[in-house]
Structure 1
Amino acid sequence: MEEALLGLPPFVNGTFSSQCDYKMAKILYSIAAPIVIFITLCFNVMYILVVNYVKDDRTASTVQTTGISISNTLHGVSQLPIFFYFFLRENMADPVSANWCNAYRVLGFILPNIFHTATVWQLVVFGIQRFLSFRWPFSAYVWLKVDRFLTFTIIIYVCSSITHGYKFFDFVHESGEPCSFSYRKGIATIYYIKFYHWFCAIVVQIVPCVVMSVCVVPLIYAIRLSYLRRKRVFVNSLTAIPRNRRFTMKQCQSLGILVLTLAVEWPLTVVIMLQLTSSGTTSKECEYTSLIISHFMLLVSYLLFLPVYLILNFELRRTFALLKSDVTVFVMRHLQMEVNSDDVD
């Protein structure tokens, strides 16, 4: 049973295909990946608090970016137990319990794929929604409502779960060392394996990457058109230039997120397609090293989402400063109340 083609991280029958893959996974997943995931968790929690701090500023895009941040966080956090238990051990080939073997498949393969699929498709909808907002802003104000995109987000999560959910039940753990799986009777056919691999490669990788790539050019055009439109309207205003620049930078936030995603997803797509189309006679030396590196870069890209937001979005930085000020005032008042209570005593 070999599902490392789309599994994150790649793990084949309890051992890696070569010592090269083993060493690379040990280096990246033992310390580096948990650190990246922990920082991503802190960043995303901070972003969710900031973007939803002012209720009147909530829009369809904030709903989508919040959903994307949640997916990114869950994608990494779900793998942390596997990273800590397996990759920090002296020898991953040592025997482990059947429960940990099953946990490896669920936490290291199934759940990450669900959250990764949800992230990718939310980014697709996000890119389309941003283009419509920039190109036809008045119509978008009527149609692109918060509750509608909240519904879209829920639908994406449900569809992502359906896409990979049956993988919870299609395998059984075989007795052996350290972890070995096989498909249940009746589905252990080459057609089932190929169908799942190609279905995921097309639905999770190829189609979203193509759609996001196609969205980039119209998005640039819409941002440029929006900039020129504002420039004509505020031609006689002395403060128009800096305001127009800040608003354009805010619009480029969505473009930056799409480009960052494509810079990681396209190499991952190419690696997966090469794995699917390669013949069985190819060398097994370092076979999955490229997939391990691509998966690690995917985790790193999720870490960079918040810096992109903060660099390009002036209003987000202002809200962050407001949140920081309110927290500081709250803490100071709480400390003052404690001091006053001590004086009374």
Structure 2
Amino acid sequence: MEEALLGLPPFVNGTFSSECDYKIAKILYSVAAPIVIIITLCFNILYITLINYDKDDRSASTVQATGISISNTLHGVSQLPIFFYFFLRDNMASPVSKQWCNAYRVVGFIFPNIFHTAALWQLVIYGIQRFICFRWPISALVWYKVDRFLKFTITVYVCASITHGYKFFDFVHDSGEPCTFSYRNGIDPTYYTPFYNWLCAIAVQIVPCVIMSVCVVLLIYGIRFSYLRRKRVYVNSPTAIPRNRKFTMQECQSLGILILTLAVEWPLTLLIILHITNLETASEDCAYTSLVIAHFMLLVSYLLFFPLFFILNFKLRRTFARLKSDLNVFFVHHSQMDETSDDVES
């Protein structure tokens, strides 16, 4: 049963078609991937804290950014138990319990698929929303509401869960070492497997990537249009040029996020299509190495989201400086209170 088509951690039973696949997966997933995921977790916690730090600045954009960060984080964190338990062992193919075999499938495949799908479609909505705000900022205020985007986020998660949720129930664990699975009685893999593979390829990869590619072109136009509009408004201001540059760089963060995502998702999409249309490659040497590397690069791309936001968004840097100052004041205040209490007791 091959279910590594989305570039997620391949199963132990048969997905490693060669020693080459086994070695590259063990190298990337044993140490490198957990480090990337842990750093991403720290970055996203900081990012969510910063964008929600000032209650007056919370908006629908804050809801979107928070949702995307949570999806990216959960995509990696959900796989950490599998990385630690399976890929850090000396012999990953050695026998494990039935519970860990089931966990490998659920935590290592189904949950990451759900979060990956949710993240992609949230980015699609993010790209569309950003273009509308750049091109028609006044009209966007009519529908650009926090409650509405909360509903969008919930809807995306519900649809992602429906797309992959039935995978919780379509398999049974067989006796075998280390882990083998088979479809339940009544499920014909001749039709079921191609249906799921093409559903994921089209709904999870091709359609979002095409829409985001169109959004990139539209965002370039929208950002330029917004830049020229501000240039006309600030024509008599002595600080017009640096101010306009700051706002333009902040607007470019959405463009950078989409380009970074597409740089990983388009190669992953092409690999998925190749594996679906050429199933005989499953027996070739290093057949899944490219998917393993693509999945690892997906984790790395999530790591780069925060640095990209931090470099381009001057408001985020300003909020970080304010947070740092508030923390310093907080710790200094408490240290002085402790010293005062010690003096009183003495």
Indicate the TM-score class for this superposition, using the shorter chain for normalisation. over 0.9
1:185 counterpart residue number: 185
- In the superposition, the TM-score normalised over structure 2's length comes to 0.98
Identical counterparts, % of pairs: 76
> What letter matches 2:133 in structure 1?
S
Alpha-carbon separation, structure 1, partners of 2:222 and 2:4: 40
Q: Secondary structure at the match of 2:293?
A: helix
1:107 counterpart residue number: 107
For 1:193-249, what per-residue CA distance to the aligned partner results, in whole angstroms no more than 9, with x for missing partners?
110010011000000000000111111001000000000011010011111000000
CA contact (8 A) 1:201 1:269 kept: yes
1:319 counterpart residue number: 319
2:29 counterpart residue number: 29
Note the C-alpha offset of 1:6.
2.7
Alpha-carbon separation, structure 1, partners of 2:282 and 2:293: 20
For 1:240-298, what per-residue CA distance to the aligned partner results, in whole angstroms no more than 9, with x for missing partners?
11110000000001000000000000000011011001142675200000000000000
Alpha-carbon separation, structure 2, partners of 1:253 and 1:325: 25
Aligned pair count? 345
CA contact (8 A) 2:252 2:312 kept: yes
Note the C-alpha offset of 1:86.
0.3
1:139 counterpart residue number: 139
Alpha-carbon separation, structure 2, partners of 1:156 and 1:147: 14
1:204 counterpart residue number: 204
> What letter matches 1:319 in structure 2?
T
Identify if the C-alpha distance between structure 1 residues 7 and 243 changes in structure 2 by more than 3 Å, giving closer, same or farther.
Answer: closer
Does the alignment pair 1:277 with 2:277? Answer: yes
Note the C-alpha offset of 1:189.
2.7
1:71 counterpart residue number: 71
CA contact (8 A) 1:174 1:181 kept: yes
Q: Secondary structure at the match of 2:181?
A: strand
Q: Secondary structure at the match of 1:280?
A: helix
Alpha-carbon separation, structure 2, partners of 1:301 and 1:15: 24
Alpha-carbon separation, structure 2, partners of 1:338 and 1:275: 64
Alpha-carbon separation, structure 2, partners of 1:240 and 1:308: 24
Alpha-carbon separation, structure 2, partners of 1:15 and 1:301: 24
Q: Secondary structure at the match of 2:172?
A: strand
2:50 counterpart residue number: 50
CA contact (8 A) 2:281 2:287 kept: no
2:129 counterpart residue number: 129
> What letter matches 1:337 in structure 2?
M
CA contact (8 A) 1:7 1:110 kept: no
Identify if the C-alpha distance between structure 1 residues 281 and 336 changes in structure 2 by more than 3 Å, giving closer, same or farther.
Answer: closer
Does the alignment pair 1:116 with 2:116? Answer: yes
1:175 counterpart residue number: 175
> What letter matches 1:138 in structure 2?
I
> What letter matches 1:46 in structure 2?
L
CA contact (8 A) 1:14 1:178 kept: no
Q: Secondary structure at the match of 1:219?
A: helix
> What letter matches 2:334 in structure 1?
H
Alpha-carbon separation, structure 1, partners of 2:146 and 2:248: 22
Identify if the C-alpha distance between structure 1 residues 35 and 263 changes in structure 2 by more than 3 Å, giving closer, same or farther.
Answer: same
1:62 counterpart residue number: 62
Alpha-carbon separation, structure 1, partners of 2:106 and 2:153: 23
CA contact (8 A) 2:20 2:286 kept: yes
2:149 counterpart residue number: 149
Note the C-alpha offset of 1:188.
3.3
1:264 counterpart residue number: 264
Alpha-carbon separation, structure 1, partners of 2:154 and 2:185: 34
For 1:109-152, what per-residue CA distance to the aligned partner results, in whole angstroms no more than 9, with x for missing partners?
00000000000000000000000000000011221111111110
Note the C-alpha offset of 1:4.
1.7
2:165 counterpart residue number: 165
> What letter matches 1:178 in structure 2?
P
Alpha-carbon separation, structure 1, partners of 2:110 and 2:49: 28
Alpha-carbon separation, structure 1, partners of 2:155 and 2:62: 17
For 1:48-71, what per-residue CA distance to the aligned partner results, in whole angstroms no more than 9, with x for missing partners?
000000011112211111100000
CA contact (8 A) 2:96 2:178 kept: yes
1:287 counterpart residue number: 287
Q: Secondary structure at the match of 2:280?
A: coil
- In the superposition, the TM-score normalised over structure 1's length comes to 0.98
Note the C-alpha offset of 1:326.
0.7
> What letter matches 1:288 in structure 2?
Y
Q: Secondary structure at the match of 1:235?
A: coil
Structure 1: 5+ residue stretches without partners: none
CA contact (8 A) 1:15 1:93 kept: no
